[in-house]
Chain A
Amino acid sequence: MASLLAAPVGWLLVVYVGSLVLLLMAAFWETEPFTNDVVRHWNLDNFRRIIEQDVYRDVAWRTIQMAGLVTIADAVLAFPIAYYMARVASPRTRDILVVAVLTPLWASYLVKAFAWNAMLGDQGFVNWLLEPFGLSAPGEWTGLWLTFTYFWHPFMILPIYAGLERIPSSLLEASGDLGARSLRTFWRVTLPLAFPAVVAGSIFTFSLTLGDYILPTLIADQQFIGTVIYGDRSSNLPVAAAFAMVPIAVMTIYLLVARRLGAFKAL
């Protein structure tokens, strides 16, 4: 057993944890100003810079806001679909819906990104659709929000679907027997029981938005945490590493809260 586990555990330690540790250590180093070479001289300047320069705070806050908005939108959109799949649809319809939800995940990330980029453009589909009503395509921020919401939607649907399916019908029947109407049953029984699953799904939507750098580059020109790290990585790796601490810290807090809300049991 030990020898069977050695390879995967070794991989996890050396490749995964090891590279993360090296990255975090780089946050305490500095670069040679001319060659951009990393100099292993321990100091806290990178963190000072990230705290003192407004731009890093603005970018971090902007990214967290986006991640939050995407998560809320995905949860609102995903719940009815997941509910229909788990509680209403016939087994056959349910299978079709599961496939439909998963299909976008099979398409290439970049193809979808460019498709959205084209759809949201001045000459794009969205504008064509809205023009007769005197409206125009949404700006960068809204466009990126829509795109993120579309991209991570399946990651929210599937955990909620699984969570709803796990609720025993007997509980809902009992609620009805005790005189609760369906709406009341939903608010008092279904929703509280499914909430950990929503939180579980939100871990995906939130963290994926927090770390993405390709969609912001393609859809918006505003900087996000990922794009700043991407930009700094070649010319100032230590600053990029220090800034990488921000999403790690945010996600640590997020996961601690999620665990309190029972999300890990719902996964």
Chain B
Amino acid sequence: MRKVRRKHLGLAAMAAFVGALAFLAAGCGGDGDSSASTELEGLGTSIEEIQSMARDEGEVNLVIWAGYADKSWADDFTSQTGCNVVTKDGASSDDMVDLMATGAYDGVSASGDATLRLIARGDVAPVNFDLTPNYADVFEGLKDQSYNTVDGVGYGVPHGRGPNLLVFRNDILPADTNTWAPIWDGSQAGKLSIYDNPIFIADAAVYLKATQPDLGIENPYELDEDQFTAAVDLLKQQRPDVGQYWDGATYARQVTDFKSGETTVGTTWPYQTNLMAAEKPPVSVTSLKPAEGTTGWSDTWMISSKAAHPNCTYLWMNYIISPEANAKVAEYFGEAPSNSKACDMTTDPDHCETYHATDEAWWEDVYYWDTPQPDCGDDRGEACKSYEDWRAAWTEIKG
């Protein structure tokens, strides 16, 4: 009898506990609006003050795309400022948004499909460009863009930009291949290496834009029902041919898989092709932007609205777009720098030429990662698929 009563007591206590949790959780969900504060707690008001306060902070904790804070320039930063650089590789833009939401990081190198989400969530703070003097030398074409500026308020410093490239082993495809067709036409069964993220649906849309003009695709991130279905169908058709999906956490496997021949054709970042070239012996591959155009990224260094080391973060944002550091990171990752003076600092004098840093025409068919939203941004109105739909479709595509 006694035992039974105690058992019930335990159940009642448990129920009360669960109820209390539910109440708490429901209660703190009330005020969801997130107005971004323009001032950061603990940030110095002048460059000198920031420099002296940074010495006390001694650390900057960053979420980065792999390769954005290599020792070869991060160590210089540490010796100049006294801030140790701690980094965490983001696997994807989703992952970066997730990591920044924890409030545990000071800054992030966000792509265009993350920036607006971070701003809307209030996880990043506006930047006072008076405190980042190197901003003055950033290419005008990268300033005040829809992905880094909201209502005239700038939310970060442009890092640089690059394309997602077609890559293939030279023993598989002819050197003059200039089309995305090999990854979509089923000719490379089991040998494809594909970026593992919903945003890759846009790559299918870029191909359809060129090959099926009837669909009327203008912007690969603004897809209505028919366009979206066509892109998803194309990806489902591709699915059995994929040998390996990679992302910002598993990119190194793409390098080893191309080396071993496990995968031979796919999409890549210039970073991995640099890594393949650095292998001994180098992996014989070609990478290029095919005739259909491609997706790409234009990244922005942003500061967390809850940054524990705001002064070190400001110094980092200024440092990474300085001509010297910007040249190093652009060469290391294989992208176009954001600082116009960086082009004189690269070890390869033709780097900016090769990566089309000033050639705006070349970027016309590079569609920077963006967050898909229901509002198409044109006369179709609210007919477009949201990122939530993209996410759900990606799960279905992988099956």
Interface on A for B, CB 8 Å cutoff? 13, 17-18, 21-22, 25, 31, 33-37, 39-40, 49, 53, 55-56, 58-59, 121-123, 217, 221-223, 228, 231-236, 239
Are B94 and A234 interface neighbours, CB within 8 A? yes
Q: With CB as the reference atom, state the residue of chain B lying closest to A26.
A: B25
Query: Which residues of A sit under 8 angstroms from B88, Cβ to Cβ?
Result: none
B 228-247 contacts with A by CB, 8 A = 242-245
**Could you list 7 examples of A-B contacts with CB < 8 Å?**
A33-B373, A34-B387, A35-B117, A121-B260, A122-B260, A123-B260, A123-B262
B71: CB under 8 A from chain A?
A: no
Are A236 and B98 interface neighbours, CB within 8 A? no
Are B120 and A34 interface neighbours, CB within 8 A? yes
How far, in angstroms, from A107 to B58 measured CA to CA in the complex? 35
Query: Which residues of B sit under 8 angstroms from A235, Cβ to Cβ?
Result: 94, 198, 387-388, 391
Are B97 and A36 interface neighbours, CB within 8 A? yes
Q: A221-B398, A236-B388 are in contact. List 15 more A-B contacts (CB 8 A).
A: A13-B17, A17-B14, A17-B17, A22-B25, A33-B388, A36-B117, A36-B388, A40-B29, A59-B399, A222-B398, A222-B399, A223-B399, A234-B95, A234-B98, A236-B391
CB distance from A209 to the nearest CB of B (A): 19
Given known A-B contacts A55-B399, A58-B399, A217-B250, A33 and B26 have beta carbons under 8 A apart: no
CB distance from B47 to the nearest CB of A (A): 33
Quick one: which of A33, A40, A122, A234 contacts B262, CB cutoff 8 A? A122
Query: Which residues of B sit under 8 angstroms from A223, Cβ to Cβ?
Result: 395, 398-399
Quick one: which of A17, A36, A122 has the most chain B CB within 10 A?
A36
Query: Which residues of A sit under 8 angstroms from B242, Cβ to Cβ?
Result: 221
How far, in angstroms, from A35 to B386 measured CA to CA in the complex? 10
Are B395 and A55 interface neighbours, CB within 8 A? yes
Quick one: which of A18, A56, A222, A232 contacts B391, CB cutoff 8 A? A232
Given known A-B contacts A39-B32, A236-B388, A221 and B245 have beta carbons under 8 A apart: yes
Interface on B for A, CB 8 Å cutoff? 14, 17-18, 21-22, 25-26, 29, 32, 94-95, 97-98, 116-117, 120-121, 198, 242-245, 250, 260-262, 371, 373-374, 386-388, 391-392, 394-396, 398-399
Q: With CB as the reference atom, state the residue of chain A lying closest to B197.
A: A231
CB distance from A237 to the nearest CB of B (A): 9
Quick one: which of A18, A53, A122, A239 contacts B261, CB cutoff 8 A? A122
Q: With CB as the reference atom, state the residue of chain A lying closest to B118.
A: A35
Q: With CB as the reference atom, state the residue of chain A lying closest to B123.
A: A35
CB distance from A227 to the nearest CB of B (A): 8
Quick one: which of A13, A33, A222, A233 contacts B374, CB cutoff 8 A? A33
Given known A-B contacts A13-B17, A25-B25, A235-B94, A36 and B395 have beta carbons under 8 A apart: no
Given known A-B contacts A122-B261, A223-B399, A25 and B387 have beta carbons under 8 A apart: no
Quick one: which of A31, A55, A233 contacts B396, CB cutoff 8 A? A55
Q: With CB as the reference atom, state the residue of chain B lying closest to A228.
A: B395
Query: Which residues of B sit under 8 angstroms from A17, Cβ to Cβ?
Result: 14, 17
Are B261 and A123 interface neighbours, CB within 8 A? yes
CB distance from A57 to the nearest CB of B (A): 11
Q: With CB as the reference atom, state the residue of chain B lying closest to A217.
A: B250
Are A22 and B21 interface neighbours, CB within 8 A? yes
Q: With CB as the reference atom, state the residue of chain A lying closest to B27.
A: A40
Q: With CB as the reference atom, state the residue of chain B lying closest to A41.
A: B29
Are B388 and A31 interface neighbours, CB within 8 A? yes
| Those 4 A-B pairs whose CB atoms lie nearest each other, nearest first | A40-B29, A234-B98, A33-B386, A234-B94
How far, in angstroms, from A121 to B242 measured CA to CA in the complex? 15
How far, in angstroms, from A94 to B116 measured CA to CA in the complex? 62
Given known A-B contacts A22-B21, A40-B25, A221-B245, A34 and B371 have beta carbons under 8 A apart: yes
Given known A-B contacts A40-B25, A231-B395, A221 and B244 have beta carbons under 8 A apart: yes
Are B391 and A21 interface neighbours, CB within 8 A? no
Query: Which residues of B sit under 8 angstroms from A34, Cβ to Cβ?
Result: 116-117, 120, 371, 373, 386-387
Query: Which residues of A sit under 8 angstroms from B243, Cβ to Cβ?
Result: 221
CB distance from B247 to the nearest CB of A (A): 10
How far, in angstroms, from A255 to B374 measured CA to CA in the complex? 44
Query: Which residues of A sit under 8 angstroms from B250, Cβ to Cβ?
Result: 217
Query: Which residues of A sit under 8 angstroms from B395, Cβ to Cβ?
Result: 55-56, 223, 228, 231-232
Are A36 and B387 interface neighbours, CB within 8 A? yes
Query: Which residues of B sit under 8 angstroms from A55, Cβ to Cβ?
Result: 395-396, 399
How far, in angstroms, from A123 to B371 measured CA to CA in the complex? 39
CB distance from B222 to the nearest CB of A (A): 14
Query: Which residues of B sit under 8 angstroms from A31, Cβ to Cβ?
Result: 388
How far, in angstroms, from A122 to B243 measured CA to CA in the complex? 11
How far, in angstroms, from A235 to B21 measured CA to CA in the complex? 24
CB distance from A91 to the nearest CB of B (A): 43
Query: Which residues of B sit under 8 angstroms from A58, Cβ to Cβ?
Result: 399
Query: Which residues of B sit under 8 angstroms from A40, Cβ to Cβ?
Result: 25-26, 29
How far, in angstroms, from A31 to B390 measured CA to CA in the complex? 14
How far, in angstroms, from A117 to B44 measured CA to CA in the complex? 50
Quick one: which of B21, B32, B395 has the most chain A CB within 10 A?
B395
How far, in angstroms, from A21 to B260 measured CA to CA in the complex? 46
How far, in angstroms, from A31 to B371 measured CA to CA in the complex? 15
